[in-house]
Chain A
Amino acid sequence: MEDYKKTISELIRKHMVVLGPNIALAVARKIPALKLADNGDALEIAGDPKAALAAVADAYITFAGEISVMLLGSVTGEYHGH
């Protein structure tokens, strides 16, 4: 669970830098399962964390296209090994 929160937070934060904080948060806030802080941190995930990550990633990609794919890649690539 914690890893997912970290990943999601990271994703949102990166989008805040790129998209601008307002819009990034607005997009992420549309995911009902997520409870977010104003700085983008994922405070709580309701239900399946996998689904939540998928949903927020999808929402960003739908909104911003390729750039989000790149950001998603950079986020998930950051955690190496155990």
Chain B
Amino acid sequence: MCAVTIAGAVFLFGDSGPVVIVGVLGLAVLSALTLWLLRQNDAQIDRILAAHKEMASTLQSRDARLNQKAYQSAISKEISDRISSSPDVSETLEIIAGSLGAILDYSAVSYMVLEKNGTILFKCHLEIAVNAAFMESVKRAMLDALKLVHDASFKEEDIKTAHFGAMLDESAKEPMRSFFNVPMLVDGALVGMVNVASVKPDAYGEADAGILYGVVAQAGVMTTKIKHLIAEETNKVNAMLASISEGLIMIGHEEKVVIVNKRAKEILDIVKQDGEVLLLDVIQALYGKFDFRGFADQVLQSNKMEIFPELLLQKTFFKVIATPVRDRTGHTIGVVFVFSDITKEKEVDKMKSEFISITSHQLRTPLSSMKWFLEMLVNGDLGAMTEKQASVVLDIYNSNERIIMLVNDLLDVSRMESGKVVLEPTPTNLADFIKSMLPEVNQNFVKRKQTFEFVKPDTLPRIAIDPKLIWQALANLLTNASKYTPEGGKIKLRLALDAKNILIEVSDNGFGIPEFQKNRIFEKFFRADNTAKQEGTGLGLYIVKEIIEASGGIIWFESMEGKGTTFSFTLPLEGSKPNKIV
């Protein structure tokens, strides 16, 4: 109860000499009551409203009472709706001022808003024509009240005046005869004031003012609550941002830096003692290394996430991921950049490369020695051998060849998976290129007495592809075709052109692929049941598929067991993009 608190203050008052304690009392009472009030805002409002209800019930007219109740509910609802979406003081006061006509009779209703920059917005709605002196009186009355509460002085030029409604008319002689003010407080500070003034004397009683006080108090409480809520959420977000290990920068409307966390400032080496970080600061910090603004534009245009894979800043490598930020309605309100330290990843990458490099060398060294010595043996360079010896040596040679192929395949796969295989597209005439490479695989057809046919259109446009990788894939398909077709069979290579792609087909009339294994053909290490057990690594088609897909094409096959197989793949006319096969 208020009285208790007051009693407490008075108690203090009474304990020692009044004059001494009054000083202390002032502070004590102020703080205690303010705190108490803030904690019991709702209770307070209810009490004010209850007290005024009492007053209202003494009013004669039942209609007036109902009117006031209706007014209160209506205005309370409207205010709460507006405040929750935008706690703007002048808007709130505008609503209140605009609505008073329902319950009060006045000559003018005005409000003042204390803006953050020190100016005062003074708006006066005139119900009837009044003279300048009247408006001046209203202004005075409000300023006096403001001074009392706010304890600051206002210069004339700080006050921006506007009036609406009826005209200022010097012939209107009536002065202001009664008024009352209702100050609005948010978070314990004065933010604005409503004034109701009339040319009639004694126009306003407690009941009238009471309703308005209740409404304004409620508005003040709501705005305060929302301000606190916003501050709380902001603090939560800030705490979160401060703690994450990635650098975060968000650019919002009008290129304003909305978010920049501590890590981002560290990464960009932006040292700002005070003041905000501006877009300019960021652009400068990244000058010559990363086109920040350009990248943001790119994200806004494509409206999806974009990644800048590697950026070196202060001896550390970062990956930059930028993505658009959307509000609840789906509108893009900005772009958020995440700077992620990839030093570790790069180190691991480096280790992988080194491993692959060393391993390949280590494995291949003995293999190539064996290959050449076996070659010399087979050729008789190291003396004649018995038939049996020659036969065995040839077997060893072939085994060695198989291991070499396996090592090659393993290394290819390993390199692909580490992103070491980079597509380097260059404009190529596919037909001419293939023709020049065919001798490499022709041996197979000759050895197995197979016929080979190469069909191509008269003209073929050049397309951007990586020729060595495409040949690797095609050679694999051709060698397979030969391998899995009996002697005397037929292999055909056909090139065709359609609207968007070049089509390449390798067909044979060989053993075909068993039905139930067709869906596993491109798997790593998969070998169909009817393949010769001695040869093949099971990696060839996997590698082929990776190459074709990285080149922007698709690969498929048709096969019938005992009849033959056709492998087909496309290469887009628009060409391949340089990228890593991963």
Query: Do A and B touch (CB < 8 Å)?
Result: yes
Q: Is the CB of B209 within 8 A of A81?
A: no
Q: Is the CB of B29 within 8 A of A76?
A: yes
User: How distant is B228 from chain A, measured CB to nearest CB, in Å?
Assistant: 15
Give bound CA distance, A76 to B6, whole Å.
12
Would you give the 0/1 interface string for B211-246, flagging 1 where the beta carbon is closer than 8 Å to chain A?
A: 001000100100000000000000000000000000
Q: Does B430 contact A (CB under 8 A)?
A: no
Chain B residues whose CB sits within 8 angstroms of the CB of A43 once the complex forms: none
Chain B residues whose CB sits within 8 angstroms of the CB of A78 once the complex forms: 26
Would you give the 0/1 interface string for A53-68, flagging 1 where the beta carbon is closer than 8 Å to chain B?
A: 1100110011111110
Q: Is the CB of A70 within 8 A of B51?
A: no
Q: Does B18 contact A (CB under 8 A)?
A: yes
Q: Is the CB of B2 within 8 A of A65?
A: no
Chain A residues whose CB sits within 8 angstroms of the CB of B2 once the complex forms: 58, 61-62
Q: Is the CB of A62 within 8 A of B48?
A: yes
Residues of A in contact, count (CB < 8 Å): 38
Chain A residues whose CB sits within 8 angstroms of the CB of B6 once the complex forms: 54, 57-58
Q: Is the CB of B204 within 8 A of A67?
A: no
Q: Does A32 contact B (CB under 8 A)?
A: no
Give bound CA distance, A59 to B188, whole Å.
20
Q: Is the CB of A77 within 8 A of B205?
A: no
Q: Does B480 contact A (CB under 8 A)?
A: no
Interface centre among B47, B149, B190 (most CB of A within 10 A): B149
Q: Is the CB of A61 within 8 A of B33?
A: yes
Give bound CA distance, A39 to B176, whole Å.
18
Give bound CA distance, A81 to B24, whole Å.
9
Q: Is the CB of B178 within 8 A of A66?
A: no
User: How distant is A53 from chain B, measured CB to nearest CB, in Å?
Assistant: 7
Chain A residues whose CB sits within 8 angstroms of the CB of B320 once the complex forms: none
Chain A residues whose CB sits within 8 angstroms of the CB of B44 once the complex forms: 65-66
Chain A residue at smallest Cβ distance from B52:
A63
Chain A residues whose CB sits within 8 angstroms of the CB of B22 once the complex forms: 3, 7, 76, 79-80
CB contacts under 8 Å to A, within B163-205, are 178-181, 183, 185, 188, 190, 202-205
Which residue of A23, A63, A65 is within 8 Å of B37 (Cβ)? A65
Q: Is the CB of A27 within 8 A of B206?
A: yes
Q: Does B317 contact A (CB under 8 A)?
A: no
A67-B23 contact, Cβ under 8 Å, with A18-B149, A22-B202: no
Q: Is the CB of B148 within 8 A of A18?
A: yes
Interface of chain A, helix or strand or loop or mixed? Answer: helix
Chain B residues whose CB sits within 8 angstroms of the CB of A45 once the complex forms: none
Number of A-B contacts (CB under 8 A): 127
Give bound CA distance, A19 to B9, whole Å.
24
Q: Is the CB of A66 within 8 A of B181?
A: no
Give bound CA distance, A53 to B9, whole Å.
11
Q: Is the CB of B206 within 8 A of A73?
A: no
Q: Does A34 contact B (CB under 8 A)?
A: no
Q: Does B34 contact A (CB under 8 A)?
A: yes
Q: Is the CB of B213 within 8 A of A63?
A: yes
A67-B185 contact, Cβ under 8 Å, with A26-B205, A62-B48: yes
Chain A residue at smallest Cβ distance from B25:
A76
User: How distant is A74 from chain B, measured CB to nearest CB, in Å?
Assistant: 7
Chain A residues whose CB sits within 8 angstroms of the CB of B217 once the complex forms: 65-66
Q: Does B145 contact A (CB under 8 A)?
A: yes
Q: Is the CB of B209 within 8 A of A23?
A: yes
Which residue of B20, B148, B178 is within 8 Å of A22 (Cβ)? B178
Q: Is the CB of B37 within 8 A of A66?
A: yes
Q: Does A72 contact B (CB under 8 A)?
A: yes
Q: Is the CB of B213 within 8 A of A22?
A: no
Give bound CA distance, A73 to B18, whole Å.
15
Chain A residues whose CB sits within 8 angstroms of the CB of B190 once the complex forms: 67
A73-B148 contact, Cβ under 8 Å, with A50-B10, A67-B183: no
User: How distant is A11 from chain B, measured CB to nearest CB, in Å?
Assistant: 11
Chain B residue at smallest Cβ distance from A72:
B29
Q: Does A12 contact B (CB under 8 A)?
A: no
Residues of A within 8 A of B (CB): 3, 7, 14, 17-20, 22-23, 26-27, 50-51, 53-54, 57-58, 61-67, 69-82
Sample (13) of A-B pairs whose CB atoms are under 8 Å apart: A19-B181, A23-B209, A61-B2, A65-B213, A66-B188, A67-B149, A70-B185, A73-B34, A76-B22, A76-B25, A78-B26, A79-B26, A81-B19
Lowest 9 A-B CB distances belong to which pairs? A77-B26, A73-B30, A20-B180, A76-B26, A54-B6, A18-B145, A69-B33, A79-B22, A50-B10
Residues of B within 8 A of A (CB): 2-3, 6-7, 9-10, 13-14, 17-20, 22-23, 25-27, 29-30, 33-34, 37, 44-45, 47-48, 51, 141, 144-145, 148-149, 151, 178-181, 183, 185, 188, 190, 202-206, 209-210, 213, 217, 220
